[in-house]
Amino acid sequence: MNKNIIIEKLEDIAVISLNRPEKRNALNAAILTELSTAMDEIAENQRIRGIILTGNGSAFCAGADLAYLKEISQFGEEENVRDSRLLADIFYKLYSLPKITFAMVNGPALAGGCGLALCCDYIFAEQESARFGFTEARIGFIPAIVMNFLIRRVSPSIAYHLAVSAQLINARDALQTGLVDLIFPERDLRNKTLSFVGNLLEQNSFEAMIQTKKLFQQLLDLPLKEGLEIASRLNARSRQSADCQKGLKQFLNKTTINWRSES
């Protein structure tokens, strides 16, 4: 039974809440293990299409737990490599999850906590209390794993500044840099996020969105000509898919589809 995370299922949307409010939802081995298991289960659940990741209490996630930091300070090289790869695997699992994912940032998202938000497709933030920062350099650490996702979200110059300066930025500044997609007042954050997810699932084919997500992530790592060849083949296959045939029919007949209830 999970105790460090809470999963709430609302039809085809799952809300995953980090549940260590007394520790500002700081990361340790237990919460990371539970989160990894939850993502595995959700990945296999065909009913779930939208994922919202948030934190209970006043913080989204304050980064690594102090006790966890004390523990890893005693690790040897092999233990450190194994532990680092575990964190990298969890981040990649969230990044590549075959669902549409949202970080609902209700307070500070720091270091590895900010990394969790970056691994989601969308980041929505509470406009007054949300804070973002890669504070690793303040303790002589490097935001090495997180940086892989940071450079995929904002410009190289902004990513470099955030990583090197260890500066905290508020929700409005994060919105301007492109780190955050939308900001809302505290009273509206949950309802607006759920409404956005629901509308997205109604208006668009889920299969088309997931294939777009996979292709987008793949193209980031490919030379242009190789990317165009892969994209051309996928484009051709998608035209023959059931969803595309259904979508073309409704477009030509000037009707509408509620994709959420259709499939």
The residues assigned a catalytic role are: 136
Q: Are 259 and 204 in contact (CB under 8 A)?
A: yes
Written as six digits, the tokens of 9 are 């299922």
**Neighbour tally for 68: CB within 10 Å:** 20
Written as six digits, the tokens of 204 are 């668009």
The angle subtended at Cα 80 by Cα 77 and Cα 82, nearest 5°, is: 110
Q: Are 29 and 65 in contact (CB under 8 A)?
A: no
Q: Are 109 and 116 in contact (CB under 8 A)?
A: yes
Q: Are 27 and 113 in contact (CB under 8 A)?
A: yes
Written as six digits, the tokens of 153 are 């979200």
Q: What share of the chain is helix, strand, coil (3-state, %, to 5)?
A: 55, 15, 30
DSSP state letters, 202-236? HHS-HHHHHHHHHHHHHHTTS-HHHHHHHHHHHHH
Length of the chain measured in residues? 263
| Residue 8, helix vs strand vs coil | strand
